[in-house]
Amino acid sequence: MAKSRRRYGHKASEKVGKAMHEMKAGKLKSGRTGKKVRSRKQAIAIGLSQARRAGGKVPRRPARSRKT
């Protein structure tokens, strides 16, 4: 049986946890506009993005489909 690999590293879970904590306290703001983040999914996305920038083990974002 193959050994299961962890998809996300420790740093990723730390950053996502911190982002969720900030969102619940009403302190997490989105990047460009600086508006308060209200959605859980957005808070997770921000945490994963921060983990990527910090060099944590996080899978790449899914490729976006282009409109022609």
Question: Which pLDDT belongs to residue 2?
Answer: 60
Query: Is 3 a domain residue?
Result: no
Question: Which pLDDT belongs to residue 59?
Answer: 81
Q: How far apart are CA 58 and CA 17, in angstroms?
A: 14
Q: How far apart are CA 66 and CA 60, in angstroms?
A: 18
Question: Which pLDDT belongs to residue 60?
Answer: 82
Structural domain of 48: 10-53
Q: Are 44 and 20 in contact (CB under 8 A)?
A: yes
Question: Which pLDDT belongs to residue 1?
Answer: 57
**Number of folded domains that form the chain:** 1
Query: Is 48 a domain residue?
Result: yes
Predicted confidence pLDDT, tens digits, the chain (68 residues): 566 787 888 888 899 999 999 999 999 998 889 999 999 999 999 998 888 888 888 888 777 777 76
Query: Is 60 a domain residue?
Result: no
